[in-house]
Chains A and B, each alone.
Chain A
Amino acid sequence: MRDDALTYVVGEEKGLRELLLDSEVLPLLEGILAAGATSAAIVDRDDEELWIVRDPAELGNEVVRLPIRLEGEPVGTLRICGPDESAHPLVQMARMLGIAIDTLLRNNLKRVLTTEIHTAVVNTSFDELVEINRQLSESDTRYRQLAESLEQKVKERSAELKKALIHLLQQEKMAAVGQLAAGIAHEINNPLGFVTSNLHTLQKYVSRLITMVEYQKTLFGVRMDDEAKTQHADHKWQELKINSILTDIGDLLHESLNGAERVTRIVADLKGFSHVDEIGAVPVDINAELERTLSVLTHELGPGVTIVRDFQPLPPFSCEPAILGQVFLNGAHPGNRMGRRTDQDQHRRQRPGHPPRRQGKDLRTVFHHQAGG
């Protein structure tokens, strides 16, 4: 209970002074004085005067004493004095006065008790409300804090998710880059393989041609008739299979040059695609950029995939070509890259001296890169 609250204990004893007001009692006492009494008083149980009115000019004897009861218990006395000759009517009036005071007392007590219990209930209810309010505020604060921390937690979790997503994207990117690199390595490896193989064959051919030339040079110095020399030379010619060498040598050189050109083109495309030499926005031919992307992707395409180009002339567009290339690559990248890889070089001619195991090793390398990417 608060310090400033009025506190009552239901049942606390009340005195006459607490229950009756001067303004209520004195008019009653004055009334009987006017009716002929010389004095009228209410005294407490120790005969102490609580209220008294008297006619200073008149003296009289006590004509009546009536007990005043509170909750049935005598708590005071109504004392009326007056001339003996008026005793009888004064006694009757005093009884009336007694009833009036008793009624007044009873009603005032009721009022006081009602007020007290009401106040006590209001105090208790107020205290309970204050307590409930305090608990509600506490719970409100708690939920507010929870809500705030929830927001914070959501933020943290979102940031974590974002980080994880970026990491994942980066990984995906790296995987794509790795795959691309592996594919391109494969793409370069193929022409390089048969160029090397052709060079080995050419080396053998040259060595046989040298043998032939040296044989003929030696044959010139030998004393022998021309026919015999021709016969020997022809025999050697046959033995060294110079005819087939002469037939093949042109093809081999042509093929090797093609292979070298293919590598040159791939490297040029790759360089162009990555735009390593360009910084910032430059005028870009979008068609050329698309073409470059497609050429980088060639190795990714499965069998039976046809690229249909329907380019329309476009004005140069100012942008960073590397980014544009990346966009095209992402857009054009075949969805299912893994497992659908087939050897792009099935059409490659098997050359003598070309080690057949190379192909398998290449594929293993590719898959190794894919798995590692």
Chain B
Amino acid sequence: MIEYNEQQQRMVLKLVYYGPALSGKTTNLLQLHEQLIREGRGDLMVLDTTNDRTIYFDLLPFFLTATSGLKIKIKVYTVPGQVRHDATRKAVLQRADGVAFIADSQRAETANNVNSFASLEDNLALVGLNIDTLPLVIQFNKRDLTDIVPEEEIRKSWEPTGFPVIMASALKGCGVVETFASLAGLLYDRLDGRYRLLDEHGLAKDDFLRCLATVAGG
């Protein structure tokens, strides 16, 4: 958590889209920006890029207010996927409240997925976060491509981790909102357990999810 000010009734949270290079993290945020209702969120801020590759991060902010008056701001970040930007990933991961791991479904990228997930585990430990309790969802992106690992195989190898696994095609806009909603759901559960969102702030999970993940025109 970036900030929690009880007096000001303000909570600032951080969600991070992590994954190997070119797996579609920024595309996920672009699609969220595209698909979700404008209300309750800001614009996608893309920091300087090199040849369309993220070198710092992208940021999509969301905000909502509970009936108690508690203002919750959720900042969704992407990290640069390239191995060389590990220091940036570590900096962005600091105080994260949840992670969406965006994997590349292409067969050729299997090793990169595994390495990136290992780096996520390492970096979480380095910034003092526990992967076992942190809200984490896994998205297998690029399902629209041909030479991809079959869903069955993916579920067989990743579901035993206990993390929700979602198939997606960010470029086509499929599975993106589901991934975000899944992560938001886990985030709510964790916050509710700790800050009693429903009991003390009158914020139900459905309302929370509706504020964050309602598709425009839906």
Residues of A within 8 A of B (CB): 8-13, 69, 71-73, 106, 109-110, 113-114, 117-118, 120-121, 124-125, 128
Interface check B190, CB cutoff 8 A: no
Query: CA separation between A10 and B75, bound complex, in Å?
Result: 10
Contacts of A128 in B (CB 8 A): 87
Starting from the known contacts A73-B61, A117-B88, 8 additional A-B residue pairs (CB-CB under 8 Å) come to A9-B2, A11-B14, A71-B75, A73-B73, A110-B45, A114-B56, A117-B47, A117-B57
Q: Determine the residue in chain B with the shortest Cβ distance to A116.
A: B91
Query: CA separation between A72 and B43, bound complex, in Å?
Result: 6
Known: A10-B77, A12-B2, A13-B2. A114 touches B47 (CB 8 A): yes
Q: Determine the residue in chain A with the shortest Cβ distance to B61.
A: A71
Q: A67 to chain B: closest CB distance in Å?
A: 13
Query: Which of A69, A73, A109 has the largest count of B CB atoms less than 10 A from its CB?
Result: A73
Query: CA separation between A117 and B2, bound complex, in Å?
Result: 15
Contact among A10, A72, A73 with B91 in the assembled complex (CB-CB below 8 Å): A10
Contact among B3, B45, B87, B92 with A12 in the assembled complex (CB-CB below 8 Å): B3
Chain A interface helix/strand/loop/mixed: helix
Provide the B73-115 mask, 1 if CB < 8 A to any CB of A, else 0.
1010100000000011011101100000000000000000000
Q: Determine the residue in chain B with the shortest Cβ distance to A121.
A: B87
Interface check B150, CB cutoff 8 A: no
Residues of B within 8 A of A (CB): 2-3, 12, 14, 41-43, 45, 47-48, 56-57, 59, 61, 63, 73, 75, 77, 87-88, 90-92, 94-95
Q: Determine the residue in chain B with the shortest Cβ distance to A117.
A: B56
Contact among B41, B63, B87, B95 with A11 in the assembled complex (CB-CB below 8 Å): B95
Query: A113 to B56, Cβ gap below 8 A?
Result: yes
Query: B87 to A9, Cβ gap below 8 A?
Result: no
Query: Which of A11, A117, A121 has the largest count of B CB atoms less than 10 A from its CB?
Result: A11
Query: B41 to A110, Cβ gap below 8 A?
Result: no
Chain B interface helix/strand/loop/mixed: mixed
Query: CA separation between A11 and B56, bound complex, in Å?
Result: 13
Q: Which 9 A-B pairs have the closest CB atoms?
A: A72-B42, A120-B91, A71-B61, A71-B42, A121-B87, A124-B87, A11-B2, A11-B75, A117-B56
Contacts of A69 in B (CB 8 A): 42
Contacts of A110 in B (CB 8 A): 45, 47-48
Q: A10 to chain B: closest CB distance in Å?
A: 5
Contact among A10, A13, A72, A109 with B92 in the assembled complex (CB-CB below 8 Å): A10
Contacts of B12 in A (CB 8 A): 11-13
Query: CA separation between A124 and B86, bound complex, in Å?
Result: 10
Contacts of A13 in B (CB 8 A): 2-3, 12, 73
Q: Determine the residue in chain B with the shortest Cβ distance to A74.
A: B63
Contacts of B42 in A (CB 8 A): 69, 71-73
Q: B103 to chain A: closest CB distance in Å?
A: 23
Q: Determine the residue in chain A with the shortest Cβ distance to B89.
A: A121
Query: CA separation between A11 and B92, bound complex, in Å?
Result: 8
Known: A11-B2, A12-B2. A72 touches B88 (CB 8 A): no
Q: Determine the residue in chain A with the shortest Cβ distance to B13.
A: A11
Query: B41 to A72, Cβ gap below 8 A?
Result: yes
Q: A346 to chain B: closest CB distance in Å?
A: 92
Known: A12-B3, A106-B45. A121 touches B88 (CB 8 A): yes
Query: CA separation between A234 and B91, bound complex, in Å?
Result: 141
Contacts of A109 in B (CB 8 A): 45
Q: A103 to chain B: closest CB distance in Å?
A: 12
Contacts of B63 in A (CB 8 A): 72-73
Contacts of B90 in A (CB 8 A): 124
Q: Determine the residue in chain A with the shortest Cβ distance to B46.
A: A110
Q: Determine the residue in chain B with the shortest Cβ distance to A119.
A: B91
Q: B66 to chain A: closest CB distance in Å?
A: 15
Known: A71-B59, A121-B88. A11 touches B45 (CB 8 A): no
Contact among A71, A117, A124 with B45 in the assembled complex (CB-CB below 8 Å): A71
